[in-house]
Structure formats: C-alpha cells, structure tokens
C-alpha cells in the first residue's frame, strides 16, 4: 500500500463508552471479519478481559477500506483500554498513531477519562475526530453531549460532530469516511535507514518475543539482520506480519505500516517497549523519541501460593512484565513468606488485574501483601547531605531512632462526579488528607482536582469513591511530588514472632487507631490453633494493641472442668510443647490475613 493511503489511528474513550464495539463494527464494515466471527468481541480476547468485560491490552488490526473517493485505504486500528489504571497502554497506542477517534457515550456524556485521554492525544500531536456513540439508546442525550464536546476544544466548537451507534452500525460509515479525510497519512522516508518503534510486545514459548511495531522510516523484511538502537546485540527477523485480526505473515512492512515482528529472542529483558529497531547493515543514527513509561504508584509483595513454585512465578512475572510496561518487579525475600517479588503497579485495580492474569494466563497462584506507597527517608547525620533512601517495602523502613524525616509521593487526583455526589466526594477527599486545588463545573458534572498522598488512595479510596457515587465518579491521577509526612511503621507479631510481610506504614496521627483495628481484624483472619495465640501491633518498639486468637479447643489451664491437678499439668505440658514447636517457623498465612490489612477502612 502506498504511504499516502495508510491511516494509523486509535480509538480513545472513557471506560464502557463503546471502543471495542466500534472496533468490531469497523472490522465488520471493512470486511476484515464476518458477522459470524464477531459474535464474541474479537479484540477483547484475553480471558481476564472477557470476565471483566474491559479491554486491558491494546490490539492493532489492519483493515482495508474502499473510500467514497474511489481509493483503497489501509486502516491500522489500535484498540485501547479505558480504565484509569491503564493510561500507559493508551499512551503506547497513541505513540504509534497519527490520529484518534474520541468516542463519547451519549447516555453519559463527557467523563474524566474522556478528558484525560484527550489530553494524552493532544500531547502526541494527533488529529482528533470527536464522535458521539450510543445514539440508539433511549437514555441518550445527544444535544447535551454535543454541547459538552464542543466546549472541550476550540477546534470542536464549529466542526461537524459525528453521531453513531456502534451497536447497530448506524452512521459508522461516516466515521470510516472521516478517517481518511481527516487523519494525515504517516510521514517518513521509505528509502531511509529502518526505524521501527516497538509499541507493545508479548512472549511466545516457541517464537520468543513478538513485538508490535510501527515502521517510521525505511522498510522491514523477513530474515533481515536487526539491532536495537543503542545496543550491540543483534537478531534476525524470524518472520513479520500483520494482525488481520489474527496474525498473518507478510514479506515486508514499509514506512508507515503497523504489524508484528517475531524476534526469536528468548530473554524477556532483551527488548523493551518504546525501543527503536534498525538494521545492522545500515543503522539509523537517531532513535524515535520514546514515550515515558508510567511510574508505579503502589507496591505490593507477590509470593507463590499453593502448588505454584517460586520459579514458575518468576517465569510468569517476567513474561507478563514484558507485556505490561507499567508493571515492575524485583525479587524479595520475606521471613514469613519466603522468596517472592516486590512489584510496582499503577493502582489497586491494576494489581487485581495482574493477579488474575497470572492465574488465568500463566496458571500460577499468588499471595499478595497489603500495598503501600513509595517513601523517601532522610536519615540523621546523612552523608552526603540531601541523600535519601527510597522505600517501596515497609520491611526496609529504617529504625525510627535514625530517621530525620520522611517524604511521601503526592498525586494530583482529578475526580469527575455528578453534582449530586459533590459533598460526599469532598468529604471523602478531606478524610484522606486531600487539599482542594481546583473545582470546575460542567453542567451536571463537577471536576474536582485534589492533591492527595498516594498512601491514602492506595488502599480503599477508589472503591469508596465508586460506592459513594454508585459507580458514577471517575478518578484520574498524575504524579506531583514528594512532600514531608509524619509516618510510622506498625509491626505485627503473631505468637511473639514478627511477621515482616504484615508491616505497614501509616500516618502517626492514625497509628494507634489503625493498630487496634489491625489486631482486631487479624483475630478473625488468622487460622486458629489448639492454643491461644497473641497478636500484637508494635509501633516504635512499644506494644500498642494486643488480642488473642482464640484456641480451637478450650485451654486446659483455664477451663472450669473438674480435673485432677496432674491431668491439668499433663495437658499444659502438651500445650506448651505445641506452642514452642509452633512459634516462629510455621505460621502459614492465608490471603485473608493480608486482605484484612487491605480492608482496614471497613468495620471490624
């Protein structure tokens, strides 16, 4: 296909506004797939996507469209996820696109994620086509949605705004026409040295790393010797192809085209998303400017559970990380849970999705510890001045006696909510030490901008926000800066043995209250033994709270039964023997224990 007739575009929208449905309709109307094949949403093929009904991974599909101008066009469509926790995926899709269809659900109007995605598209300099979806729905308020959209950007004020139903296919042909008319053809030099951007990748046990690429300059052929810009290592293009929507091999990918490259590389670290590929024979001189991978907001420990071994978890995690650039990991050794990984996520929902993907795609079971934010710890008499420790794991939090001060990451939280829930949302933010930065009214919607400590939103904030607003509010976060906070560590001992995996960092003001709640929750979460087990919460070497996990059977020493002294002594000896054997080593903690820490906000 000649370059002038290629269009690379993404569909961006708020969650559930209909991106995947529109992608399906486009594939159907361009005859990429038949109606029958579309019975299941094709692009959301991952098991976890089908269970949740959301798109987690971006997908690219090549379609051919016969325009009303008589020409044939190659449409490379990239489906993107809409959840706030996956904005990194959206960024990757946009880095490979020249234009974006901004889809807005007429029953819901403009939402926070519509605005956040629009911001990203503008950052990548994309041509944006605003489209109103779900016009067939009886609850659709097309006029109001159009009014909101027109206010979003000066260029939307007077341009035509398409109104479609992705479900019925009504007016979808107008979108197909607008794509070649409005989105520019890719630029680039077909005769220049090869420059291809890796915008996604996955791991195949037989074929190694398969990279999703866009060719920016030159062309790529099978069996070509390739290298990464800035690296010495080289590899051969085992095969190249396109998604149609399944993988289909092609001999060449030329300037502007999107497709896949089978690298044969078996080391999952060998190729990172965002890198530029060139040929060893005629290497390009400069790399394609990289997009910035998102910073991890929350960290949690992932440990093998049940039948899963450490090695299996390691394999699964490294392959998954290749496929998800916003997921980071490093090995961790816990006294209570043994060998595992410290992992960084964009948010709690991201953590849940990773956990499920590990289970459904890699068949490994994991235990996750309570998530925490990142802290910068400045020590007393620190040499050289201004140096700090970066703490992503509460276990590594230094002794309070040597700490000078601690800084925590803060985010800008942009919350869009219907007006009716405004006061409830503001109350929630204030309870979480939020500082109101901005408030913006758009008809029935209010967009609140708060500065919030990450630790406050790392736990239940998102769930509370959703339940307060019956699911209507949206949350988008952006890293701001580190600021001083007064943080202490709560350590937990079960049966006098410290359980490092239960360490949590909390604001000093709330520490006592949290310590009491924690032991109360643990009392019911820890599996019982034949003898009572004390659970203690310790802050700065002082026991702040204590409960006893009741024994499975009554204690020989305290039950009121009439027994001979020698019988009681015998029982007591046996119990104390049990206790000594049990202390430290064999406290097996189920996931419910860590969930208890996670749900400290809810009543005991």
Ligand X SMILES: Nc1nc2c(ncn2[C@@H]2O[C@H](COP(=O)(O)OP(=O)(O)OP(=O)(O)O)[C@@H](O)[C@H]2O)c(=O)[nH]1
Residues engaged in binding ligand X (CB under 6 A) = 13, 15-21, 54-55, 81-82, 133-134, 136-137, 165-167
CB of 16 to ligand X, least distance (A): 4
What DSSP line would sit under 318-357, residue for residue?
HHHHHH-TT-EEEEEEETTTEEEEEEEESSHHHHHHHHHH
Counting Cβ atoms within 10 Å, is residue 555 exposed (0-12), middle (13-18) or buried (19+)? middle
Measured between alpha carbons, how far is 349 from 300 in angstroms, rounded to an integer?
Answer: 13
- C-beta closer to ligand X: residue 84 or 196: 84
Report how far residue 43's alpha carbon sits from residue 53's, in angstroms, rounded to the nearest whole number: 11
The residue among 194 and 354 lying less far from ligand X, judged by its C-beta, is: 354
The whole-angstrom separation of Cα 244 and Cα 27 is: 9
Judged by CB, which is closer to ligand X: 82, or 241? Answer: 82
Strand partners for 283: none
Tell me if 133 is assigned to a ligand binding site.
Answer: yes
Q: How far apart are CA 59 and CA 41, in angstroms?
A: 12
CB of 100 to ligand X, least distance (A): 14
The token duo for 456 is 């406050």
Please state the closest distance from residue 25 (CB atom) to ligand X, in A: 9
Among residues 19 and 92, whose Cβ is nearest to ligand X? Answer: 19
267 assigned binding-site residue:
no
DSSP state of 508: H
Assess contact for 524 and 479: CB atoms under 8 A.
Answer: no
Three-class secondary structure of residue 562 per DSSP? coil
CB of 352 to ligand X, least distance (A): 14
Q: Least distance (Å) from ligand X to the CB of residue 360?
A: 17
Q: Is 134 labelled a binding residue? A: yes
Judged by beta carbon, residue 166 or residue 454, the one nearer ligand X is 166
Query: What gap in Å lies between CA 173 and CA 168, rounded to an integer?
Result: 12
344 is in an annotated binding site: no
Report the residue number, 148 or 372, with the smaller CB distance to ligand X. Answer: 148
Closest to ligand X by CB, 102 vs 454, is 102
- CB 243 within 8 Å of CB 62: yes
Structure token pair of residue 500 = 């490092």
Nearest approach, Cβ of residue 593 and ligand X (Å): 32
Q: Is 20 annotated as a binding residue?
A: yes
Shortest Å distance, C-beta 371 to ligand X = 23
Centroid of chain to Cα 410: 18
19 is in an annotated binding site: yes
Question: DSSP character for 88?
Answer: H
| Residue matched to tokens 């913006």 | 440
* Residue 601 marked in a binding site: no
21 marked as part of a ligand binding site: yes
- Cα separation, 355 vs 370, whole angstroms: 13
Binding-site entries for GTP: 16-21, 133-136
Residue list for the binding site: 16-21, 133-136
């Amino acid at each position: 296909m000649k370059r002038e007739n290629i269009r690379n575009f993404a569909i961006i929208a708020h969650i559930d506004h209909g991106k995947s449905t529109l992608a399906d309709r486009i594939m159907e109307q361009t005859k990429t797939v038949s109606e029958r094949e579309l019975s299941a949403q094709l692009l959301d093929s991952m098991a976890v996507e089908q269970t949740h009904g959301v798109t987690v991974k971006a997908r690219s599909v090549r379609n051919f469209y016969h325009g009303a101008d008589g020409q044939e066009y190659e449409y490379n469509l990239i489906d993107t996820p809409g959840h706030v926790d996956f904005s990194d995926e959206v960024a990757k899709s946009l880095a490979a696109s020249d234009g974006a269809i901004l889809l807005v659900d007429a029953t819901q109007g403009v939402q926070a994620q519509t605005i956040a995605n629009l911001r990203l598209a503008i950052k990548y300099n994309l041509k944006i086509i605003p489209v109103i979806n779900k016009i067939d729905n009886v609850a659709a308020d097309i006029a109001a949605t159009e009014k909101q959209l027109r206010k979003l950007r000066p260029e939307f004020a007077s341009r035509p705004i398409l109104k479609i139903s992705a479900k019925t296919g009504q007016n979808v042909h107008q979108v197909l026409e607008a794509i070649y008319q409005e989105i520019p053809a890719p630029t680039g030099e077909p005769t220049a040295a090869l420059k291809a951007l890796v915008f996604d990748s996955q791991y195949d046990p037989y074929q190694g790393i398969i990279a999703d690429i866009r060719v920016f300059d030159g062309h790529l052929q099978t069996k070509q010797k390739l290298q990464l810009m800035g690296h010495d290592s080289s590899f051969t293009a085992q095969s190249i192809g396109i998604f149609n929507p399944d993988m289909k091999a092609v001999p060449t990918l030329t300037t502007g085209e999107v497709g896949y490259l089978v690298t044969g590389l078996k080391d999952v670290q060998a190729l990172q998303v965002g890198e530029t590929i060139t040929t060893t024979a005629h290497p390009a001189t400069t790399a394609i400017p990289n997009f910035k991978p998102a910073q991890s907001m929350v960290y949690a420990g992932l440990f093998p559970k049940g039948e899963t071994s450490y090695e299996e978890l390691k394999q699964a995690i490294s392959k998954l990380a290749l496929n998800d650039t916003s997921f980071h990991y490093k090995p961790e050794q816990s006294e209570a849970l043994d060998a595992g990984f410290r992992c960084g996520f964009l948010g709690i929902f991201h953590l849940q999705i990773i956990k499920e993907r590990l289970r459904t795609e890699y068949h490994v079971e994991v235990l996750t510890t309570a998530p925490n934010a990142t802290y910068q710890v400045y020590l007393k008499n620190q040499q050289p001045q201004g140096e700090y420790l970066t703490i992503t794991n509460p276990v590594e939090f230094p002794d309070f006696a040597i700490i000078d001060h601690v800084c925590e990451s803060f985010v800008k939280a942009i919350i869009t909510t219907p007006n009716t829930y405004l006061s409830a949302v503001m109350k929630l933010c204030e309870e979480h030490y939020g500082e109101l930065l901005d408030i913006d009214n758009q008809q029935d919607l209010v967009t609140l901008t708060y500065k919030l400590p990450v630790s406050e939103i790392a736990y239940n904030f998102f769930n509370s926000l959703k339940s307060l607003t019956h699911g209507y509010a949206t949350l988008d976060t952006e890293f701001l800066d580190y600021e001083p906070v007064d943080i202490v560590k709560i350590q937990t001992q079960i049966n006098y043995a410290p359980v490092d995996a239960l360490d949590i960092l909390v604001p000093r003001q709330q520490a006592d209250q949290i310590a009491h709640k924690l032991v109360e929750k643990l009392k019911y979460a820890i599996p019982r033994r034949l003898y009572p087990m004390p659970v203690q919460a310790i802050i700065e070497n002082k026991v702040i709270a204590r409960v006893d996990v009741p024994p499975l059977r009554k204690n020989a020493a305290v039950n009121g039964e009439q027994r001979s002294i020698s019988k009681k002594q015998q029982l007591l000896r046996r119990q104390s023997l049990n206790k000594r054997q049990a202390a430290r080593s064999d406290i097996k903690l189920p996931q419910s224990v860590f969930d208890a820490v996670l749900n400290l906000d809810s009543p005991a």
